[in-house]
Amino acid sequence: MTIHLPEDLERFVHEAVRAGRYAHEDDLIRDALEQLRTRTPTPTPGLGSIGAMRDDAELLDKTPRTSWKGAGHAR
């Protein structure tokens, strides 16, 4: 696999390896992707758009009721 990074990120990767934080560039990229994977919610298999609708409903439940005022909605 080949990836292309913006110059600033490429420089960051090279500097981290030069500083000894990682042995190879691949190690930093692997670590970053593993951290991203642990922070990213895993979709519930088989729910498809139903899962997305559930997530939207949960988000709306967290929306402050004051945001509805003045928007023409009676709440």
Measuring CA to CA, which residue among 40, 31, 29 is closest to residue 4?
29
What's the pLDDT at 16?
97
> Is pLDDT at 1 greater than 70 in this prediction?
yes
Structure tokens that stand for 71 in this block: 């928007």
Q: For 32-36, 62-66, 71-75, which range has the lowest pLDDT when averaged over its residues?
A: 71-75
Determine the Cα–Cα distance for residues 52 and 37; give it in Å rounded to an integer. Answer: 19
Determine the Cα–Cα distance for residues 6 and 47; give it in Å rounded to an integer. Answer: 36
> Is pLDDT at 6 greater than 60 in this prediction?
yes
Determine the Cα–Cα distance for residues 50 and 36; give it in Å rounded to an integer. Answer: 24
**pLDDT digit string (tens) for 13-61?**
999 999 999 999 999 999 999 999 999 887 766 665 555 566 666 666 6
What's the pLDDT at 48?
59
